C-alpha cells in the first residue's frame, strides 16, 4: 500500500459513505474494486479483511476496519473533523444519531434490499417484510427531517459531518433500490429539511469527486439516477 488508506469499494455501495468522508477530510487513499458480479466479497481474500463479507473495508495503519459507522467515527477522531470532539457537549446527541443511522436505519434498509438473507426466498414473504419496513423507514425519515430542521453543528450544517455523509447515500438508495421493487412510497419533497441538507451536500467538492469516481450523476441525492460507474457494478 503506497497510501495510508485503501478503500475496498463497489460503486454506490456503503463504501460510498467512506469515500465521501475521506474526500471531505482531504485524505489521499487507494481504492480496490470489490467485483460484486463475481461475488468477490465472499472470496477468501476479502473475508480475511472482513469475515462478514460486507463492503466496505478500509485498510488503515491500525489494520483493516469494517462496519461503516466504526470507520466513520475512527476517521473523525483520528483526523479531528466530521464529528463533535469527545469532550464536546454535542457529542452525546451526535453519537446517538450516528448509532441510530447504523443499527436501525441502515439495518432496516439491508433487510429491504436483501430479504432473502433474513427470511428465505419466498417472494410473498419478501413483500410482507418490505411493507412493514416501509412504515418503519417513513418514521425514521420523519425523525431525521425533524433533526435536520434544528440548527445543529453536526447535521445539515455548512460543514458536513460524518452523519450527513452516512444519511445522504441511504436516502439515495431508498429512491433507487430495490431495482424491481415499489419505491413510490419514497418522496423527498415530504421531507423539506432533508431535501435542503442533500442539496447543500451536492455542492461539496467531496461529493463531486465521488460522483466522478462512481458514476452517480449530477444530483446523486436530490434526484438520483442509477449509477453508471467507470468500473465495476453497483449490485
Ligand atoms: N453493517 C455493514 C453493512 C454493509 C453492507 O450492507 N454492505 C453491502 C453493500 S451496500 C454489502 O456488502 N452487500 C453484499 C452482501 O450482502 O453480500 C456496514 O455498516 O458496513
| CATH number of 200's domain | 1.20.1050.10
Our answer on whether the CB atom of 226 is closer than 6 Å to any ligand 1 atom is: no
Can you tell me the mean pLDDT for 46-74?
98
Q: What is the mean pLDDT of the chain?
A: 96
Beta bridge partner(s), residue 7: 31, 58
Which pLDDT score is estimated for 229? 95
Please tell me the distance between residue 103's alpha carbon and the centre of ligand 1 in angstroms.
Answer: 12
Q: Is the residue at 45 inside a domain?
A: no
Supply the residue whose CA is at minimum distance from atom 18 of ligand 1: 67
Burial (CB < 10 A; 0-12, 13-18, 19+), residue 200, is middle
Q: How far is CA 38 from CA 33, 46, 134, 177, in A?
A: 12, 12, 30, 20
Q: Is the residue at 96 inside a domain?
A: yes
**Separation of alpha carbons 198 and 164, rounded Å:** 8
Range of the domain at 181: 91-204
How much of the chain, in percent, has pLDDT values that exceed 90?
94
Helix (H, G, I), strand (E, B) or coil at 160: coil
Our answer on whether the CB atom of 41 is closer than 6 Å to any ligand 1 atom is: yes
Q: Is the residue at 49 inside a domain?
A: no
Preceding peptide of 3 cis, ω within 30°: no
Can you tell me the mean pLDDT for 208-227?
98
Q: How far is CA 111 from CA 10, 34, 117, 133, 224, in A?
A: 19, 21, 8, 8, 21
Asked if pLDDT for residue 109 goes beyond 80, the answer is yes
Calculated CA dihedral for residues 95, 59, 56, 199, nearest 10 degrees: 60
Q: Is the residue at 149 inside a domain?
A: yes
Q: Is the residue at 223 inside a domain?
A: no
Number of domains in the chain: 1
Q: How confident is the model at residue 179 (pLDDT cuts 50, 70, 90)?
A: confident
**Separation of alpha carbons 28 and 57, rounded Å:** 16
User: Is there a contact between 172 and 224 (Cβ–Cβ < 8 Å)?
Assistant: yes
Please tell me the distance between residue 57's alpha carbon and the centre of ligand 1 in angstroms.
Answer: 10
Backbone angles phi, psi at 230, to 5 degrees: -65, -25
Q: Is the residue at 172 inside a domain?
A: yes
- What would the DSSP string read from start to end of 109-151? HHHHH-THHHH-S-HHHHHHHHHHHHHHHHHHHHHHHHHHTS-
Which pLDDT score is estimated for 235? 82
Q: Is the residue at 75 inside a domain?
A: no
Which pLDDT score is estimated for 181? 80
Which pLDDT score is estimated for 180? 79
Q: How confident is the model at residue 182 (pLDDT cuts 50, 70, 90)?
A: confident
pLDDT digits (tens, 9 = 90+) for 88-101: 999 999 999 999 99
Please tell me the distance between residue 83's alpha carbon and the centre of ligand 1 in angstroms.
Answer: 23
Q: How confident is the model at residue 11 (pLDDT cuts 50, 70, 90)?
A: very high
Our answer on whether the CB atom of 235 is closer than 6 Å to any ligand 1 atom is: no
Q: Which residue has the cell 471531505?
A: 24
**Separation of alpha carbons 56 and 116, rounded Å:** 21
Q: Is the pTM of this model over 0.85?
A: yes
pLDDT digits (tens, 9 = 90+) for 134-151: 999 999 999 999 999 999
Q: Is the residue at 227 inside a domain?
A: no
Asked if pLDDT for residue 1 goes beyond 80, the answer is no
Q: How confident is the model at residue 178 (pLDDT cuts 50, 70, 90)?
A: confident
Our answer on whether the CB atom of 67 is closer than 6 Å to any ligand 1 atom is: yes
Q: How confident is the model at residue 3 (pLDDT cuts 50, 70, 90)?
A: confident
Please tell me the distance between residue 87's alpha carbon and the centre of ligand 1 in angstroms.
Answer: 31
Our answer on whether the CB atom of 106 is closer than 6 Å to any ligand 1 atom is: yes
Amino acid at each position: 500500500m503506497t497510501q495510508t488508506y485503501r478503500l475496498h469499494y463497489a460503486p454506490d455501495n456503503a463504501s460510498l459513505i467512506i469515500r465521501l468522508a475521506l474526500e471531505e477530510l482531504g485524505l489521499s487513499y487507494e481504492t480496490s474494486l470489490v467485483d460484486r458480479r463475481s461475488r468477490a466479497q465472499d472470496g477468501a481474500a476479502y473475508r480475511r479483511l472482513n469475515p462478514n463479507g460486507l463492503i466496505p473495508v478500509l485498510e488503515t495503519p491500525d489494520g483493516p476496519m469494517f462496519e461503516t459507522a466504526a470507520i466513520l467515527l475512527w476517521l473523525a477522531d483520528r483526523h479531528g473533523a466530521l464529528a463533535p470532539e469527545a469532550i464536546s457537549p454535542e457529542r452525546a446527541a451526535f453519537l446517538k444519531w450516528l448509532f441510530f443511522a447504523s443499527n436501525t436505519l441502515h439495518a432496516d434498509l439491508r433487510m429491504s434490499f436483501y430479504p432473502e438473507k433474513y427470511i428465505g426466498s419466498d417472494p410473498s414473504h419478501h413483500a410482507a417484510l418490505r411493507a412493514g419496513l416501509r412504515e418503519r423507514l417513513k418514521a425514521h425519515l420523519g425523525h431525521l427531517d425533524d433533526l435536520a430542521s434544528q440548527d445543529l453543528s453536526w447535521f445539515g450544517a455548512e460543514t458536513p459531518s460524518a452523519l450527513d455523509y452516512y444519511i445522504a447515500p441511504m436516502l439515495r438508495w431508498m429512491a433507487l433500490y430495490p431495482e424491481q421493487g415499489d419505491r413510490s412510497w419514497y418522496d423527498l419533497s415530504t421531507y423539506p429539511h432533508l431535501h435542503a441538507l442533500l442539496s447543500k451536500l451536492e455542492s461539496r467538492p467531496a461529493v463531486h469527486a465521488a460522483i466522478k469516481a462512481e458514476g452517480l450523476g449530477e444530483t446523486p441525492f436530490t434526484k438520483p439516477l442509477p449509477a453508471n460507474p467507470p468500473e465495476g457494478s453497483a449490485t
